[in-house]
Structure 1
Amino acid sequence: MTSPDVVDLEGAEELLDRLRSVRHQESTEPPRPLEALCAELAELPLRPGSVVLVALSNGLPLLRFFFACQLTGYVPVLMAPSTPAPRVGETAARLGAAAVVGSRAKAGPGQPAALRIEGVNVVLRTGHPLQLHRPGQAILLTSGTSGMATGCLHEIPALLRNARRHADSVGLTAEDRVLITLPMYYSFALVAQLLGCYVTGATPVVSGPPFNAAEYVDVIGREGITHSSLTPTLVSALLESGCALPDGLRTLTVGGQGLAPERTGELLSRHPGLGVYLTYGLTQAGPRVSTLAAHREPPHRHGSVGLPMDGVRISLRDVGRGPGEQEVLVHSDTVFVRRVGTPHARAAHELLDGSVLATGDLGRVDEDGYLYLTGRLSDFVEVRGEKVSLASLRSVATSLPEVVAATAAYHADEDLLALGLHVRGTSEDIDEAGLRRRLFSLLSPHERPGRLTFHQADEDALRK
């Protein structure tokens, strides 16, 4: 199958026909043609290029709305279905979304009542500034790596090119059955896995999240899975569970953050013959950048993220950290078009020109061209395997009227976020319980601080 330049109706319909969802009961009745959903969406009072936010769980409904929105000429953006309602509203406002699709989506004050399309709520947003892009584009949220409500605008053809390059780098073919356990609002699952199936003709099998090691292994065996992907956190959970991967699994890719070399060695020693690929990428890059075929490399290379994919080049620039810690630049025709959602925020990932991305990652390249990552330029941290922006935590905290300033820190020894709020009024006036409740309603579970302290703001702080 040749790699398509665009997603068309026939190709999307064929992919959805191949898809199997193992977490949700599948209807005995075949779904109506995707063209019917496109026609219904086209009747909505939305202009071409309108942003449509889709907050649904992994499964067929999510993908039907994703493809139908795109084929109708809208610009889809996927979001976690568990996102707190205030955050959904803030994200929709920042992205200038014209509609929100979700099982729990509700109309706000002054908005029309939710419509029901294929059993899902569709809320039209009125009375708010709307943003228009071009048909044939999509927005990928950055999963915390660039702050809250931040997205990257991508061209669909570029995402398809990135998916094809990923497929080539890990040997994905039409004969594979691909298990997608990662949430598809993550760019890797959407592009590398789902669109990887689209460009190769592979069969997607959707399960989760959440992740359970025993269930994961059972699904691989029961569904005849040959290709799957996990994050390093999930690899550790799998290894610690003692569950062995079935022999039918041919390929496992690992990405999201670095996998410790000793974990890579343990994974390989427990599963001889398994193809293990360590991957590196960023949502801003489209997302995939480089691949290490760990099963073909000596152990001393297991700390690397490998070689750039075909069509991608890596260079380094000095940032005052020394020759071993230069910033990684990615040269590719799949980098994002522009950032959306936080136009005034300092960018953690800078687009130097139309095809060069400054990643914010520090690294070095050895004499054979293998990339090794050594750190980050920004203050983004990983808490229990999830990326959290300390700058965004401070921003959300200070959005509360009483909060004058906020301090955020990560304590690695406790794997704990600590947030300090500097609040107007006397110490007796501070409503700690109320502030905690309102703050937590704006944060996703992994962003909520394990330690929250309250301080009386001084007069100088009030002049922020």
Structure 2
Amino acid sequence: MNEQQIDDFLRRVVQTEPVEHDGDVSGLVEALRAEPGSVVVIALPNGIRTLRVFFAVHLAGLVPVLVSPSTPPARVWEVARYLGARALVRARIRPADFGEHEVSRHAGADVLRFTGHRLIRHEPGHVILMSSGTSGLATGCLHSMSALLRNARRHTASIGQTAEDTVLVNLPVYYSFALVAQVLSCLTAGSRLVLSGPPFTVTDYLNAVVQHDVSISSLTPILAKTVAATGEELPKPLRTLTVGGQALDPNYVSRLIKLNPDLGVYLTYGLTEAGPRVSTLAAHREPPHRFGTVGKPLDGVEVLVRGSELLVRSDTVYRERVGEPAPSKRGELIEPGLIATGDIGFVDDDGYVVVRGRSTDFAVVRGEKVSLAGVRRVAESLPHVVRAATRVGEDHGTVELDVYVDEVDLPTETEMHQRLRPLLTRNERPGVVRVHALPAGEFHK
């Protein structure tokens, strides 16, 4: 992958929202003043500018890492410290939020160079994919770009994507699936890319499909259910729909296929640590009893079972964990090229992978994976909070948090919400907080 190939690819990218004034990103890269292999955190909204910055940083021999642009400054700073990042690129930056004094503006974004923490460098040609949904809050996976491109090619082969296709990206590009299986897949296949982004509405989604002649789209299970609930056929330009993340209820798979008899419906499985794609089910070609599986492994990928846990062997598995030590063994590197997924399941006699569930320390809240262990760690970092417990509400819409404090005057639930808000992302923020006095006999802070 060279600069000319990326330039040609970016010229094929279309943005549904008005294109922001971004200018020449070469000045931005120069402003980083970073040595080869330095980590650069990029927190920009879905858009052409984000892709230009991402690829420019990579081509400059630096290591880009994409994070949500809505991440609170305190969290971004924590991520930067754990990763040993040299710089941050964000739409707007207040230097004081990061203990710094200077910021410069280039290509429509602010650039801040970190000077107050230990810097870490990696071999050029790598990318960090954050795995906060499956590991710690500031934990990432170091992947080689060549491995990610290989994974993207395997994905395009599994769904029949070609240079004639137009792919709609309405998932955030900081998601490993969106970056690899959509952005990089278009780069490798020569497909046209249409960038959209949150918030998602069915009306905007359908309009984008029609307006831009979209032939391939990917949705999370929750978004797929929303689309299926309309009871209407999807517009004809669309020929392929992939649904990833947590398993989609087989009843909704049947409904999507029944409503769209000419549509290719693919169920996908993967995790960031694997690069990320692992398996694909072409549901529209399978009998209904297969809808509860995630299909067969991609070419070059092997799914094994240890006890009841699924393992993945692939040459696209991450090289090493970076950042905060992971509080869970999900995605643990057993040996080079082999990871423990933390998912419970099996491979049937015909080679189809069945996922029954995942480690209890992780949950899907509003369609996004959340580390419950990470939420507890943040709560327990607050003054006087000795212990925290988490659960997910019955509707899977919110996290519920119980905190045990050693204060004489217990903080109110509102006060606890206020303390937690700047430290957690929207989906991590608990909908319910219950404050308890520390039981007698337990140690105080």
The equivalent residue for 1:256 is 245
Instruction: Quote the Cα distance in structure 2 between the aligned partners of 1:144 and 1:266.
Output: 29
Instruction: Quote the Cα distance in structure 1 between the aligned partners of 2:20 and 2:398.
Output: 40
Shift of 1:415: 4.5
Shift of 1:248: 1.4
Contact 1:52 1:99 in 2 (8 A): yes
1:291-342 Cα distance to aligned partner (Å, 9 max, x none): 0000110111011100000011111011xxxxxxx11111100001111122
The equivalent residue for 1:322 is none
Instruction: Quote the Cα distance in structure 1 between the aligned partners of 2:314 and 2:168.
Output: 28
Which of 368, 373, 380 lines up with 1:386 in the alignment? 368
Instruction: Quote the Cα distance in structure 2 between the aligned partners of 1:210 and 1:254.
Output: 18
1:236 aligns with 2:225: yes
Shift of 1:243: 4.5
Higher mean alpha-carbon deviation, 360-369 vs 403-412, is at 403-412
Shift of 1:111: 1.6
Q: Is the partner of 2:100 in helix, strand or coil?
A: coil
Instruction: Quote the Cα distance in structure 2 between the aligned partners of 1:195 and 1:137.
Output: 14
Change (3 A) 1:463 1:60: same
1:204-239 Cα distance to aligned partner (Å, 9 max, x none): 000112111011111101111111100110011112
1:371-421 Cα distance to aligned partner (Å, 9 max, x none): 111112342112222222211111000111221111112232574422111
The equivalent residue for 1:84 is 72
Instruction: Quote the Cα distance in structure 2 between the aligned partners of 1:262 and 1:431.
Output: 43
The equivalent residue for 2:437 is 456
Q: Is the partner of 2:427 in helix, strand or coil?
A: helix
The equivalent residue for 2:292 is 303
Instruction: Quote the Cα distance in structure 2 between the aligned partners of 1:265 and 1:94.
Output: 44
Q: Which runs of 5+ in 1 are unaligned?
A: 1-6, 319-325
Which of 154, 161, 179 lines up with 1:190 in the alignment? 179
Instruction: Quote the Cα distance in structure 2 between the aligned partners of 1:385 and 1:343.
Output: 25
Shift of 1:119: 1.5
Paired positions, count: 444
Amino acid at match of 2:187: Y
1:103 aligns with 2:91: yes
Change (3 A) 1:151 1:252: same
Amino acid at match of 1:406: A
Contact 1:112 1:123 in 2 (8 A): no
Shift of 1:344: 6.1
1:67 aligns with 2:49: no
Contact 2:410 2:435 in 1 (8 A): no
Change (3 A) 1:395 1:371: same
Q: Is the partner of 1:450 in helix, strand or coil?
A: strand
Contact 2:327 2:373 in 1 (8 A): no
Contact 1:50 1:97 in 2 (8 A): yes
The equivalent residue for 1:447 is 428
State TM-score, norm by structure 2: 0.96
The equivalent residue for 2:164 is 175
The equivalent residue for 2:401 is 419
Q: Is the partner of 1:97 in helix, strand or coil?
A: coil
Contact 1:214 1:243 in 2 (8 A): no
Identity, % of aligned positions: 49
Which of 318, 327, 330 lines up with 1:348 in the alignment? 330
Instruction: Quote the Cα distance in structure 1 between the aligned partners of 2:440 and 2:57.
Output: 51
Instruction: Quote the Cα distance in structure 1 between the aligned partners of 2:177 and 2:395.
Output: 29
Q: Is the partner of 2:223 in helix, strand or coil?
A: helix
Amino acid at match of 2:251: E
Q: Which runs of 5+ in 2 are unaligned?
A: none
CA RMSD of aligned residues (A): 1.8
Amino acid at match of 1:402: H
The equivalent residue for 1:212 is 201
The equivalent residue for 2:304 is 315
Instruction: Quote the Cα distance in structure 1 between the aligned partners of 2:287 and 2:31.
Output: 57
Q: Is the partner of 1:316 in helix, strand or coil?
A: strand
State TM-score, norm by structure 1: 0.92
1:77-99 Cα distance to aligned partner (Å, 9 max, x none): 00111111111111111111111
Shift of 1:53: 0.5
1:94-148 Cα distance to aligned partner (Å, 9 max, x none): 1111111011222136524111011100111111111111110011111422131
Change (3 A) 1:309 1:441: same
